[in-house]
Amino acid sequence: MNRPTDFHIKNDREESDMKYLEETIKNIKEINRPIKEKALIRLSEQARPAGSLGILEGVAARLAAIKGTLDVRLEKKVVVTCAGDHGVVEEGVSLFPQEVTCQMVENFVNGGASINVLARHAGASVRVADFGVNKDFDPGMPIFHKKVRKGTSNFTKMPAMDREEAVKSINAGISIVDELVQKGGVDMIGTGDMGIGNTTPSSAIIAAFSGIAPEKLTGRGTGITDAMLEKKISVIKHALDLHRPNPLDPIDVLSKVGGFEIGGLAGLVLGAAAHGIPVVCDGIISTAGALIAWELAPTAGEYLFAGHRSVEVGHGFMHERLNLVPILDIGFRLGEGTGAVLAFNLMEAATRILAEIKTFEEVAITNAQKNS
């Protein structure tokens, strides 16, 4: 059941935007539970000790339920790296200047970033989306041009964005999935991010929803000093005290302490779920977007996978709230979608586990587990 949300419809444009979001949420259906049960039975009857392949068994069963078949094929894989700038960078919460965001977008497009290398290894394509970078990119640049505004406002002084902008950023993410589906289709989506300073709003988001103190949720992001970490925590506390985001209203949380790319990431999750596509979130920023989506539409969580657990302390709290077990835990803290795309390989392996490992009956091996 969806959380109660007061959307404050103000005008025809905002009403139209809300209808698009609400229709997307209505289109999110529960996964195929009979298929999931069949998958779990087959996994339990395979010629190996029960549970011996760990979390991949649950991954396989959920993918089968999403796709409606025991023989899942994940051939068209896309990572969407969402970019945006943040006004709160003015408060000294990052080691890097804001200009790095647009420079990294160009690096993604040119194929030279970490996500490009790892995506090639996984047989996935990388698409970049500008939701709020503080630069006007050439319209011909091969990215998703979804800019809401050139960076959020400094949320220590005013809300990061207004409600209309928050909804627009979510809808922009939904529209990307619609475009991917219309232009050749997609079997699995990974979400990634790029935005200097964006671990600060991400930590603020989980603090707003959970009520947990920011000092327990806030990490070092790009590797800031102790003094900068103290500053970052104080900035989040101040923003939460100033704006009082309503945890029962995800759009209020996003608008007051979020980011345009975080809204876009939420939209990707909602759009993927509405189209019946599994979506793999990356680090703390991608998971903040997934959290916004889940708070708006809990059923979307059935399509959501946690690619990895980063070293950012707030990430684990997000996974707990979303009831997700990360596929990988390898000390990553980069973002871009790198952890998500590495999980692609294991998720594809999970589909082969389900479809190809023979059962005891199929290979005529005595099942000691059943006979004991």
Residue 165, number of CB atoms within 10 A of its CB: 22
Which residues lie across from 190 on neighbouring strands?
79, 280
Cβ–Cβ under 8 Å, residues 124 and 142 = no
Cβ–Cβ under 8 Å, residues 88 and 197 = yes
Sign for the CA dihedral angle at 30, 278, 264, 211 comes to positive
The verdict on whether 57 is a catalytic residue reads: no
Question: Is residue 191 classed as helix, strand or coil in its secondary structure?
Answer: strand
Nearest Cα residue to 148 out of 181, 111, 116, 175: 175
- Catalytic residue, from 45, 57, 91, 336: name it: 336
Cβ–Cβ under 8 Å, residues 25 and 270 = yes
The whole-angstrom separation of Cα 4 and Cα 295 is 10
Q: Rounded to 5 degrees, what angle do the CA atoms 17, 18, 21 make?
A: 90
Six-digit token pair at 217? Answer: 């949720």
Q: Which residues are catalytic?
A: 336
